[in-house]
A and B are shown apart, each in its own frame.
Chain A
Amino acid sequence: MNSARGLRARFTASTQSVSRVVGTFAAPIHARQSPDEELALFDEGFLERIRPYALSSRRVTAVGVAGERRSRRKGSSPEFTDFKMYTPGDDYRRIDWRTYARFDELFVRESETTAEYDVHLLVDVSRSMAWRGLDDGPTKLRYALQLTGALAYLSLWHFDHTSVIAFGDGPATSFGPVQGRANIVPMLRFLAGIKPASETDVAGAIGAYVHTRRRPGFLLVLSDLLSGEPADLEAPLREARNRGWETTILHIVDPVEDDPAGLSIPGEVLELIDQESNARLRVVPDGAVLADYRQSRAAWLDEIRRICAHYDTTIEPVRTDVPLETMLVQRMTALGIVER
């Protein structure tokens, strides 16, 4: 714990750096801005408010000794937790002689040890993510980057091993793995510098990442899942489960994607342009067309959910019209991804 306090003291300066960086980009999260101006992901107050929260994993075992996670292992740190009867093999240096004097039996002092998570945040930066259905709402990419930044912030603040990977059409760009609060500012700068790519392969990106990691961890995938087919997810999710990863997919959804009724004035002829492929389709979005859209989308989502359930993968829709703080504090807490 001393080491933890030491780290905290050591990185007080770095939090101030965060303030400076965030303050420089201070702006309301949902304020409508031009893409060039949308560098600031958070305001300072937001980070302060979420600071008491930390990432939580149901299955991933904390590793290492630098984190703040309470480990099931007992160690020799000054943080006393319990006594146990001495048994051969115990470190005789941990025998408590005062207890021996009182009870005439040998007891060994047990101490608490801490560990950290391996947190992996995979962000889809395809062009379909760089889209918003409402003029006054954020793009899916921006929302995903904000959520990624918040989660990574919590992770780094609590001294977890953190990796942020932006995957698009080319080689993924990554930040980390890093640990410690000194990496918060570089992490935020990394996120702010992310530009949308053209196309992507979500399943391939997950598979490649899981396959190349030596140690399983806590994998959070933020994507609209609009690339490939649902069945493509089976293989990477199976491998992740088999290799001990705890995988959660945060499905970034724009409200207009859920209900495209407001897409046009009734009777208006639209030429729909695919954001990624640039394919075009001229339609009159009347009631039958919209009903078919909803049915098709529902079937697609059901298939994805089925696959995720089959491979012990949590999938949670994240709508961009939900305020980020609400999403993080309430929804993520309810899901068990974040705890106070």
Chain B
Amino acid sequence: MNALLSLRLLAPLGLLAAISLPLIILIYMRRQQPIPRAIPSLRFWNPALGQERDRSRLRRPPLSLLLLLELLIAALLTFALTQPAAEKALGAFGARSTPLHQIVLLDGSTSMLATDGTSNQTRFDLGRAKAQKIVDSWHPGDVITIVVFGSTTRTLSVSDAQQQRDVARQLSSMPTPGGLGGLNAVLDLARNLRLPDRDNRITLITDGGLSADPTVVGQVGMPITLDEVGTPLDNLAVTQISAQAVSGQNDTYQVTAGITNYSADAVAVPYTVLADGVDVADQQVTVQPGQTQPVTLRLPAGTSQALISTRRLDGLLEDNRATIILHQDARLSLAILLVTDNPDKLQRALAVLPGARVDTVPSATAGIKQMAAGYDLVVYDGVTPSPADLPAVPMIFVQPQPVANLFAVTGAMPQPQITRVHAGDPLLADLDVEGLTFGQTSAYQLPAGATEIIGGTSGNVTGPLLWRGTVNGQPSFTIAFSIADSNIGQRVVFPVLVARMVDELVQSPLPSAVSIGEPIVLHPPASAAEVRISSPSGRNTTISTSGENQGDAVTFAGPSEVGIYSLTETRGNGEALARGQFAVNAGNPVESNLQPNAQLPALLRTSGASATQHSSGTTSGLVGYWPLIAAIALGLLAVEWIVAVARLPRWSRVAPERAEGGSP
């Protein structure tokens, strides 16, 4: 009885079929035309009895077995169409269970790229097959949530048959996300995915190389079943790579890589270094177990990219090499609009910036706001537009004119001296501003929210000489003094300062090397319509930057291949604005360790609920009864047919004219 009371109708719209019940009754109520029957004689039929007296179109429905059977069949089929299901089985039908919410956490970190044994399948392939099996075992009423996590997280959900097919298809074609497997974050996500009134369970499919905060695990409140794939493997990996320019030689770099030994024995590791594809080193280094051995090499001048690789077969081949981009083949676009009536030192300092294109226009030029939309940076030298004419791009103001609500002048500093330096500001790092002289300079009132970087004093008047702020919602720097009247133009600090200001205002586009799965934030110029990224295998990803996204940062989520990615920024007409490259490496101090975390099983058992071991990766939820009901209905239909045929008169229905021997 309890099972009956817990019946749920998964498709309540099926109740619409109940309209067949009154229709059947109506059909039976319809008075039929009399059926002619030839008989040998009317002698024994009493005309006084059985006469059809009521000639109305409808009659009282006859209470016949056929009618009752048909009503019962229609009612059962209607009930079956609603897909009734119960949490508990009726009698011996089905298995007893409650609606299940199965959360499958599928580890997609870099270590899952390892290949075990003789199988050509990676650990991620094996884990994906297990997740696929769980998806295949979905029952009506259950919910399955698949969370594939690496540096990026992807969530798939199954709550109906269509989604079951879709998720199965997506799983089969999903690449390994790569990157770090953040178990804390994904357990926190799983906790938020918990559904009320369901048996929430977590299955963690991983190679076991994860670790988690016990506090986070304890807050999950759901049983966690650990389903491990793969076997412990020894591994050697290039886990670090970096480069720095050799002092005094801007085009010469020294590359440093770290080779880590994840085995129990010391290993002599032969390695090679390629500079732009040319073998420049072939050496060997001994790495103690569990240690990282740094190797350093000066690269030939002008090297644009370096690759270091170890020559040793191990569990994860992808992390046996690492690449770093030292020089981009071409600088990504940097369009600067300089509004000045005296282009001199400032123009030269901007023009030498790598990849920069500087367009100089006089201050009287009309439509600067509209013109500025196509630039990455606008520099106003001695000119200040009204607030309504300010462009929506980063700006640098030099000796701005007083403008209400923008630049307020409180006095004048005839020959200001630097009296305040914000030494910790990255803009001034390693720069010497001592000895700088300035001409007549206005004493500006520091705008609200702005940060003074350099301040000066002249007599009793003090004011900022350089500050960082926000104008028209855009980041900006303001230089209060005249460059022409200052000696800064002759000092080396000036181009560095300008370059750093530009770098800060216009984000550096690409990193030199990233780990696999690590998202890359791009800052395409406002003039770019899209960014196209090609993976080492040639797979293209296009990110649109036009429309509402114009000028915003965009994120390339999860480079999943090891190697060199190329990037192209293009205008709306397809013209390439700039090209760049970035290297993706698999080596990671955590992910390259292919040994499982021995504490993980015990840790997961503290998940705040009794961790019932889940059987063979399947789910069991509501028990559907519509097939049983439909079968009963079909059985009754057969009975109804037999009854109908049995009750059909075998009496000849032919009219007398057609009976044997009837008149022709």
**Chain A interface (Cβ < 8 Å from any Cβ of B):** 35, 38, 127-136, 139-142, 195-196, 198, 224, 226, 254, 256-257, 260, 262-279, 281-286, 288-289, 292-293, 296-297, 300
Contacts and interface: CB of A to CB of B under 8 A. Distances in A.
Majority DSSP secondary structure for residues of B touching A? loop
A300 B43 contact: yes
11 contacts: A131-B40, A131-B652, A226-B41, A264-B35, A268-B35, A270-B36, A272-B42, A275-B41, A281-B42, A283-B52, A293-B44
Contact of A35 (B36, B44, B49, B660): B660
B660 A288 contact: no
A269 B34 contact: yes
B661 A35 contact: yes
A131 B661 CA distance: 8
Interface stretch (B297-305, B391-399, B587-595, B642-650): B642-650
Interface string B27-68: 010011111111111111111011110000000001010100
A289 to B, nearest CB: 3
B652 A134 contact: yes
Contacts of A136: 650
Contacts of B44: 293, 296-297, 300
Interface in B625-664: 647-653, 655-656, 659-663
A302 B649 CA distance: 28
Nearest to B40: A128
Contacts of A196: 660-662
Query: Which of B49, B662, B663 gathers most chain A CB within 10 Å?
Result: B49
B596 to A, nearest CB: 76
Given A273-B655, A293-B45, A127 B62 contact: no
Contacts of A274: 39-42
A228 to B, nearest CB: 10
Contacts of B661: 35, 127, 129-130, 139, 141, 195-196
Contacts of A285: 50
Interface residues of B, number: 39
Query: Which of B33, B649, B659 gathers most chain A CB within 10 Å?
Result: B649
A142 B660 contact: yes
Contact of B41 (A128, A132, A134, A288): A128
A49 B47 CA distance: 47
B658 to A, nearest CB: 9
A289 B52 CA distance: 12
Contact of B50 (A35, A198, A275, A288): A288
Contacts of B31: 269
B45 A133 contact: no
A249 to B, nearest CB: 17
The 8 closest A-B pairs by CB, nearest first: A130-B661, A196-B661, A289-B50, A128-B40, A283-B50, A267-B62, A271-B34, A269-B34
A329 B64 CA distance: 43
Contacts of A224: 40
Contacts of A277: 42
Given A135-B652, A281-B45, A272 B32 contact: no
Given A128-B40, A282-B52, 20 more contacts: A130-B662, A131-B652, A132-B652, A134-B651, A195-B661, A226-B41, A260-B651, A265-B647, A271-B35, A273-B656, A274-B42, A275-B38, A275-B40, A275-B41, A276-B41, A281-B42, A282-B51, A283-B51, A285-B50, A289-B50
